[in-house]
Structure 1
Amino acid sequence: IIAGDPESVTETWMSNVYSFGMVIWEMVSGEAAYTAYSPVQAAVGIAACGLRPEIPKDCPQILKSLMTKCWNNTPSKRPEFSEIIAILLRNNNN
Structure 2
Amino acid sequence: MAPEVLRNEPSDEKSDVYSFGVVLWELCTMQQPWNGMNPMQVVGAVGFQHRRLEIPNDMDPVIADIITKCWQTDPKVRPTFADIMAALKPLQKLNASSKTVKRVDQSDSTT
Q: TM-score range by the shorter chain?
A: 0.7 to 0.9
* CA distance in structure 1 between the aligned counterparts of 2:47 and 2:90, rounded to whole angstroms: 31
Contact 1:28–1:56 (CA<8 Å) still a contact in 2?
Answer: no
Query: What is the aligned-residue identity percentage?
Result: 32
Shift of 1:59: 0.6
Contact 1:22–1:67 (CA<8 Å) still a contact in 2?
Answer: yes
Q: TM-score, normalised by structure 1?
A: 0.83
Query: Higher relative CO (CA 8 A, sep ≥ 6), structure 1 or 2?
Result: 1
Q: Residues 1-94 of structure 1 correspond to what in structure 2 (within 5 A)?
A: 10-92=10-92, 93=94
Which aligned segments of 4 or more residues in structure 1 are displaced greater than 4 angstroms? 8-11
Structure 2: segments with no counterpart, 5+ residues: 2-7, 96-111
Q: TM-score, normalised by structure 2?
A: 0.71
Shift of 1:90: 3.4
Task: Indicate the structure with greater helix content.
Answer: 2
Shift of 1:75: 1.0
Q: CA RMSD in A?
A: 1.8
Shift of 1:91: 3.8
What amino acid maps onto 2:48 in structure 1?
A
Contact 1:26–1:32 (CA<8 Å) still a contact in 2?
Answer: yes
Report the number of matched residues: 88
